[in-house]
Structure 1
Amino acid sequence: MARALHCSGDLSSGRPVLLVPGTTLTPEVNFSWNYEKVFTAAHRPWCAVTLPNHAMSDVQTAGEYVVYAVRTMFAAAHRQVSVVGFSQGGMVPRWALKWWPDTQAMVDDLVGIDPSNHRTLDAEAVCGLGCAPSFWQQRTGSAFLRALNAGQETYAGISYTQIYTATLDEVVVPNLGPAASSALHTGPGRISNVVVQSICPLHVADHLTMGTLDPVGFALVMDALTHTGPATANRTSRSVCTQLTMPGWRCSRPS
């Protein structure tokens, strides 16, 4: 699994961030041109984990990769790590924390961007004629999601920030109201469920944009990483509503 984890910066120089990509994506495609560049420019140490088969294999196996990443980073940093994941990448760390409880003491923040915590109705259609394991497991009512969410959803000592859009999310649906798929509600962890439209009512963002260069999502990620506890909407300046993209990103051909 060592080759599945690549890092930048001195992990012991500050609280490192683990980036976890979404389904069908690699860290290179998901993060190399946005979050990785911004974190590197800010001298914030980070690692990114590559999940098997572009995160389309069994999510339980992907969870083992996240466990390895968290343990490795914690040992190198000698401090807790923060985890930022997109879509499945925001959900699968919860599986790791649930079934490998030693990792709970190793994580400070878990930030999910449009995480598929409870259901994705579009997987029903995708899986009609057969689909990849992780698509099947993210279906509404799947055995995997029932196991993930059985009992408490969060754990003491960890701050959970769930960031999602109420408009145009064509993947994690439905994501509206108190039953939003991305939202968390139970357990002793500190929870913040933030809809980007609660900050910018006219903001339009689809699923992929949220996980790559959305300015409101990015502002909330940084709020979570730079404050004690989860992100809060009231700390985010409404000036972000005038931005078209997150600052500091640069589109380039992957090396």
Structure 2
Amino acid sequence: MRPPLRYCLLTVAVAALLALVGGSGVAGADGYAPVDRPGPALTVPDLAKSLRCTADVRNATREPVLLTPATTVDSDQNFGFDYEPLFRGLGIPYCVSDSPVDPYNMGDMQLRAQYVTYGIREMYRLAGRRIAVMGHSQGGMIMRWSLRFWPDTRGMVDDVIGMAGTNHGSVVVPALCVPDCAPALWQQRANSAFMTALNSGQETFPGISYTEIYSRTDEFVQPNLDDHGTSSLHGGGGKVTNVAVQDVCPLAVPEHLLIGTMDPVTSALAVDALTHSGPADPSRIERAVCGRLLMPGVDPVTGPLTFATLTAQVAAQLTVAARRVPSEPALACYVTADCPR
């Protein structure tokens, strides 16, 4: 059962819909780096330690997937009991990306994006072909920072798959930042400087297929009531499918954690995107998925127990005082138009 707090947060999110529409997070590209300016050198430590791959990524015979986890968890917690076994069963090569210095993705996401940028480049080199980048929540958005500010990565990525991605932040997060919160939470507010920069210039790029999956009953990433909500993307030249799980199964009610872990509709859409040219097509999803409780790959006995542990992990990370700071991290120089080269 969902804690009452989740329903309260969802109510706050819906009531705050106009905050996203009218907030400063939708500003244009003025003052930001041109979209074709080469990105800076990667400066974070232990880049090689951030990537773990299956053996079949090297010289891959099909599109491999880079998995990027959500705020408050690492890749093993987010994907170890669901998407990793699913991909192994389907023969899909994959890597997971984690920050060696910030394993639960609570710190400055500008630093996290450097590890993702490294992961994209290294996977492309290993596979000898374009890759997919797929993630949950923060992980469903963070690859877009790499694509925006390291333009060389665009030719390396064929698919972007976001599960409840915070592409335009959330109107719920500010309630978690009174009086302070983790850097990554400051940056995932709907009107944060990070979100304004992320969506400057253009939201998508030609040659890349974007599948953005969201739930209208997500209690954390809101507003997500339609395809103009926070997770959805528009414009820029990429091929985009913005789809709610309720578009496939009207009675589905997955909340934030479920959509990135055990939800069968989300996994069906993700696999559809990975096994077809272009983004996912909801019309290809068999409606039998609506009668399933768990996605393929999740053990019906241990999966729900792991999910319960994951829920506790998320709650613990959100309340760790040592990770709290009083304000959003400043934007890096390379984000701005007048940064000296």
- Residue 179 of structure 1, CA deviation: 2.7
Give the corresponding residue for 1:135.
Answer: 185
Give the corresponding residue for 1:219.
Answer: 268
1:159 to 2:205 alignment: no
What CA distance in whole angstroms lies between the structure 2 residues aligned with 1:5 and 1:65? 8
1:66 to 2:116 alignment: yes
Give the corresponding residue for 2:280.
Answer: 231
1:190 to 2:243 alignment: no
Give the corresponding residue for 1:6.
Answer: 52
SS in 2 for 1:95: helix
RMSD across aligned positions (CA):
1.3
* 4+ runs deviating over 2 angstroms: 250-254
Query: What are the ranges of 5 or more consecutive residues in structure 2 without an aligned counterpart?
Result: 1-46, 310-341
SS in 2 for 1:10: helix
Does the 8 A contact of 1:9 with 1:44 survive in 2? Answer: no
1:81 to 2:131 alignment: yes
Comparing 50-59 with 126-135, greater Cα deviation is found at: 50-59
What CA distance in whole angstroms lies between the structure 1 residues aligned with 2:248 and 2:76? 29
What CA distance in whole angstroms lies between the structure 1 residues aligned with 2:80 and 2:49? 16
Aligned residues: 253
Give the corresponding residue for 2:225.
Answer: 176
What CA distance in whole angstroms lies between the structure 2 residues aligned with 1:131 and 1:100? 28
Query: What are the ranges of 5 or more consecutive residues in structure 1 without an aligned counterpart?
Result: none
Q: Out of 159, 162, 166, which is 1:116 matched to?
A: 166
Q: Out of 57, 69, 77, which is 1:21 matched to?
A: 69
SS in 2 for 1:18: strand
Larger Rg: 2
Q: After superposition, what is the alpha-carbon deviation per residue over 1:218-251, rounded to whole angstroms, capped at 9, x for unaligned?
A: 0000000000000011111111001111012233
Q: After superposition, what is the alpha-carbon deviation per residue over 1:37-85, rounded to whole angstroms, capped at 9, x for unaligned?
A: 1111222110000132411111111110100000000000000011111
Higher relative contact order (CA 8 A, sep 6+): 2
SS in 2 for 1:70: helix
- Residue 3 of structure 1, CA deviation: 1.3
Q: After superposition, what is the alpha-carbon deviation per residue over 1:10-62, rounded to whole angstroms, capped at 9, x for unaligned?
A: 11232210000000110010001110011112221100001324111111111
The 5-angstrom pairing of residues 11-50 of structure 1 reads 11=57, 12-13=59-60, 14-50=62-98
SS in 1 for 2:235: coil
Task: Return the TM-score normalized by structure 1.
Answer: 0.96
Give the corresponding residue for 2:155.
Answer: 105
Comparing 175-184 with 226-235, greater Cα deviation is found at: 175-184
